[in-house]
Structure 1
């Protein structure tokens, strides 16, 4: 069964000879960065090897959450929630964004203490997230059989529709002059004298002093060719959606063994935090020391697997020239097979918690590749030694919700504007400057 089909975008047929900036990748991050740069008056070309939102930007859960966000992401996510709230009016399109709230029940005193410890990171910030008791949890989740002690409740958290969001932003960027070119892989980032001079695509060269790499799991390969190391591994997450179902929860629920949110079509997107598989590649061994902290902390949430990915990873070690076909062209859209057993378990746990799902019919399953960094925090950063190169990748499963703010921060770094949030937690150099790699919330 193929993955989700994103809304179509009518791309341009040709490339300009030059631009102020080239965006690599047509997911939510790339589309938002393109929109931001265009609104700042820059001429922008967005190059996408497949179709806009063809990969993880249309395959994620569709959550826009502050709940249990890594503390280093709180300010960025707060900005993103505000930008999501303004997005429909800004771009003239409904992307399904709704502030439905998120509830995360806890079932022991240890879990309560853990939730309270996370909540302490919001001290001094204006957020409505709070701990609620069992009675309030039951009121927010009618029809549930869960018997929690209470829950973490974020009423301003929300949801949006992944298949619609990035395409709608890309179309708005086009209306502001951005050239969106689909089926056009960037093969190399061109540099001279320690700065970016352009991008070499499969259709020719674009001269540009700025390149923003927002290619998801493909970003490491492209940066490696430019002499920049991004520690990044691929994690497969499996998801299912149900057919429309009446009388299910309106609030998004992160429960024991499942996560579920209502969709605009009346169905539900269902998965679990444990529904992650890491297919072992040569990079798994290269970056193992950097990933040990997160693996030791969240080892139960990721299942290792040895399959053809290792052979593919060996092939990707080969360097290529500007005229060579690249891995980006050989795989236009990553469409990995989902782990049906994992999604079945998630649906079964959801049904235990909400018996109404006994009537649910599975409409579709899909897999998506998440680009994970060693601390599960994204890289939104300049690249030392390559002026004009901005990295926006490694979102570790958080990219959809963070998308609007991440695009804004990437644009601010590209134009040397005052940043809306402190970019220090997202600097690429943290993996090489002796900083302690500390996973706080996992993927």
Structure 2
């Protein structure tokens, strides 16, 4: 079969791949986006939809703030609002130790220019009377927002296609190599692609692509359980998250309450499954009703999850390969990729087109895995699997 040549091939049709294709096409690059399933089917389309700025890894703020500006302009960028809602984000603490953690998070956010409101128990009771007395303190970031993850990646992919991007679904890359004339990719259905630049945005499967170029990272697949309730009278405006991770929830204007239940659970990237154990549904609702008693009679009508890629330090890999010129990695987003997705795509397009980006990405280099990388406390806390399974 004749090789299909293009400027850039992107492996992975999630949000990162779609945004990267979009921004490259805007710069005039010919792009082929290759996806083993369908666009946005995994974590990009099955996550909670939070566009949270507060509480992020300090080194991520320049990227995160750049991404948020793109989210705030999403309708003009791609012609679809995707239910983007600047709802604000309420971070709640249940004890003094958690209050201290919130204050540390807030100090980092404020150092990067983010406005944060500091709320005590009395403030919470007055402002959010639907909260139980379990929360003793909170911080509120009014710039934080939400969007509908089921809508976003397909919408970005449509906008990319309108700019000339070729999107190839149901196409698994089996081999990728670098030759003198550039990269060559072979797929399971017998197709062949050649390109000057290759972007590895294959999500939980990205480790396999990296290994084809002698590069590795301890990528771990997992699934964060998600739930949605029947419609209920609309009264919860912000997205709400407990700093201990036990409950994350938001209500959409149609009345349904969407919540995420941690710890995360097992996912199987071989069989392409991320089942949600029934016990997690019950636990998630117990945590929710302990914080919002008015929801104690709400019924869960659907549960789901997706397959996400995690790294032990809970920091993604973003940037150039350390072994192969022209190869760029963007994976291991550890549940945080939805918010930074457009920023990552823009930065990758700048590195490919201009040779550099104004946004500092050194903390995300794959080079850090040449040595031992310590597990982040969130990695230890937010999974219910034994260490031997990681």
1:162-221 deviations in whole A, cap 9, x for unaligned? 10000000000001110011111122222125x842322234111101111111101111
Return the alpha-carbon distance in structure 2 between the equivalents of residues 96 and 76 of structure 1: 22
Q: Provide the alpha-carbon RMSD of the alignment.
A: 2.2
Return the alpha-carbon distance in structure 2 between the equivalents of residues 79 and 95 of structure 1: 19
Residue number in structure 1 paired with 2:385: none
Return the alpha-carbon distance in structure 2 between the equivalents of residues 392 and 18 of structure 1: 22
1:276 paired with 2:264, answer yes
* Secondary structure in structure 1 of the residue aligned to 2:6: coil
Matches within 5 A, 1:147-296: 147-192=134-179, 196-201=182-187, 202-255=189-242, 257-263=246-252, 265-272=254-261, 274-278=262-266
Equivalent pair of 2:119/2:140 in contact (CA under 8 Å): yes
Question: How many correspondences in the alignment?
Answer: 377
TM-score (ref. length: structure 1) = 0.80
Q: 2:294 aligns with which of 356, 368, 378?
A: 356
Matches within 5 A, 1:123-162: 123-162=110-149
Residue number in structure 1 paired with 2:369: 431
Return the alpha-carbon distance in structure 1 between the equivalents of residues 88 and 378 of structure 2: 20
1:203-262 deviations in whole A, cap 9, x for unaligned? 411110111111110111122123221221112221111122213411111136211012
TM-score (ref. length: structure 2) = 0.90
Matches within 5 A, 1:42-81: 42-81=29-68
Greater shift, 21-30 or 102-111, is seen at 102-111
Structure 2 vs 1, CA of residues 411 and 140 (structure 1 numbering), >3 Å: closer, same or farther? Answer: farther
Return the alpha-carbon distance in structure 1 between the equivalents of residues 310 and 43 of structure 2: 12
Return the alpha-carbon distance in structure 1 between the equivalents of residues 133 and 308 of structure 2: 30
1:296-338 deviations in whole A, cap 9, x for unaligned? xxxxxxxxxxxxx6xx8xxxxxxxxxxxxxx6xxx5xx33211
Matches within 5 A, 1:396-415: 396-415=334-353
Residue number in structure 2 paired with 1:112: 99
Matches within 5 A, 1:295-306: none
The Cα of 1:90 is off from its aligned counterpart by 1.0
Divergent runs of 4+, >6 A? none
The Cα of 1:118 is off from its aligned counterpart by 2.0
1:377-430 deviations in whole A, cap 9, x for unaligned? 110111112111110000011111111111112222223444131010111001
Equivalent pair of 1:103/1:154 in contact (CA under 8 Å): yes
- Structure 1 gap segments, 5+ residues each: 1-13, 280-308, 313-326
Structure 2 vs 1, CA of residues 275 and 107 (structure 1 numbering), >3 Å: closer, same or farther? Answer: closer
Q: 1:419 aligns with which of 348, 354, 357?
A: 357
Residue number in structure 2 paired with 1:121: 108
Equivalent pair of 2:91/2:102 in contact (CA under 8 Å): no
Return the alpha-carbon distance in structure 2 between the equivalents of residues 140 and 158 of structure 1: 19
Q: 1:383 aligns with which of 302, 321, 339?
A: 321
The Cα of 1:264 is off from its aligned counterpart by 5.6
1:85 paired with 2:23, answer no
Equivalent pair of 1:380/1:406 in contact (CA under 8 Å): yes
Return the alpha-carbon distance in structure 2 between the equivalents of residues 269 and 30 of structure 1: 26
Equivalent pair of 2:134/2:291 in contact (CA under 8 Å): no
Greater shift, 103-112 or 59-68, is seen at 103-112
Residue number in structure 2 paired with 1:318: none
